[in-house]
Amino acid sequence: MIAYRIKQAELEALIEAESPRWLKKASTRTAGFRERNCYDESSTIWSYVKAVYMRLQGDCKCAYCERKLESTPLGKIEQDVEHFRPKSRIRAWTLPKSLKDQDIMVTAVPDEKRGYFLLPYHPLNYLAACKPCNSLLKKDYFPIAGEYDLAGDDPAQLHIKEKPLLIYPIGDFDDAPEDLIRFYGVSPQAVAPNGFNRERALVTIEFFKLDDPTERKHLFRERAFIIVALYPQLEKLVDGTMDREKDDAQQLVDGFTSPKSAHTNCARSFRDLFQRKFQPLF
Ligand SMILES: [Zn+2]
């Protein structure tokens, strides 16, 4: 995962350009949910803004696993607009034993029949995710360490109160995922040696099976291909004798570590590891 920094006003401008009057319709629907004190509607409109999130997330990457997906419009079929905070119900997530052993605690879900009924149309409650990450893994789970507030209507405020154990990569109020999770080779690791940031990293890695070479073997393969391609370019930056060769290598390194490439966090972690080893030469 990596961060996609954007102000709410900038995000709303992109949404308005993509689907004029969507924000107005979203606001009207949210007012209805507030009045009725629940989420209920017979049709939805969030798919109209899916392309905004696809483009924002490194030109069509899954926000969680960083797999590159097809671009718009064809790519719409292979990814979902995911509600970070579930809109209609929250399923209790069972903490795996490996995390229980690390003394991580998850708050009990107060009412599994209710969700965040004021957030189905909040722009900072969306991201674009691939089908395995969204439909098979995220589902209606939302583990937190703080206090649930299902009537909350501001994700930035909720972030403080609820202490989510998953990381939200869009906007400017959550930690950057790469500050919490880095890669050692092809394997994601928590950056912090202890504390809540470590817990969030461990839960996010476990939740999306980002370190599971069996169930997510293609993630591992793709990361390995990137490292294999990146390594000789980093070597050229150290050993290359011709300026032209170094310029070409730098361009390739910049490409692999750009937000628009697949598995950017993995590529950046490898580049940084390499550069630490050859620090005096950079
Ligand atoms: Zn994914």
**Are residues 203 and 226 located together in one domain of the fold?**
no
* Residue where one domain finishes, among candidates 172, 207, 242: 207
* 133: helix, strand or coil: helix
* Residue 134 lies in domain: 8-207
Residue 130 has pLDDT above 90, yes or no: yes
Q: Can you give the pLDDT at residue 255?
A: 97
**Are residues 203 and 118 located together in one domain of the fold?**
yes
The DSSP bridge pattern shows strands 79-83 and 126-130 to be: antiparallel
Peptide bond connecting 73 to the previous residue in cis, omega within 30 degrees of 0: yes
Q: Can you give the pLDDT at residue 231?
A: 95
Under the banding of pLDDT at 50, 70 and 90, the label for residue 277 is: confident
Under the banding of pLDDT at 50, 70 and 90, the label for residue 281 is: low
Reading the block at residue 42, the tokens are 């017979």
50-53 long-range contacts, CB within 8 A, separation 24+: 50/76, 50/79, 50/80, 50/81, 50/128, 51/18, 51/76, 52/11, 52/14, 52/15, 52/18, 53/81, 53/126, 53/127, 53/128, 53/170
Longest alpha-carbon distance in the chain: 70
**Are residues 51 and 112 located together in one domain of the fold?**
yes
Separation of CA 61 and ligand 1 centre (Å): 8
| pLDDT tens figures, 143-198 | 999 999 999 999 999 999 999 999 999 999 999 999 999 999 999 999 999 999 99
**Are residues 117 and 171 located together in one domain of the fold?**
yes
Q: Can you give the pLDDT at residue 244?
A: 84
Separation of CA 155 and ligand 1 centre (Å): 22
Separation of CA 199 and ligand 1 centre (Å): 21
How far from 155 is each of 15, 122, 204, 220, 278, CA to CA, in Å? 18, 8, 18, 32, 42
**Are residues 185 and 243 located together in one domain of the fold?**
no
Separation of CA 219 and ligand 1 centre (Å): 9
**Are residues 157 and 241 located together in one domain of the fold?**
no
Amino acid letter, residue 95: L
* Residue where one domain finishes, among candidates 176, 207, 238: 207
**Are residues 182 and 223 located together in one domain of the fold?**
no
Quote the percentage of the chain above a pLDDT of 90: 85
Quote the percentage of the chain above a pLDDT of 70: 98
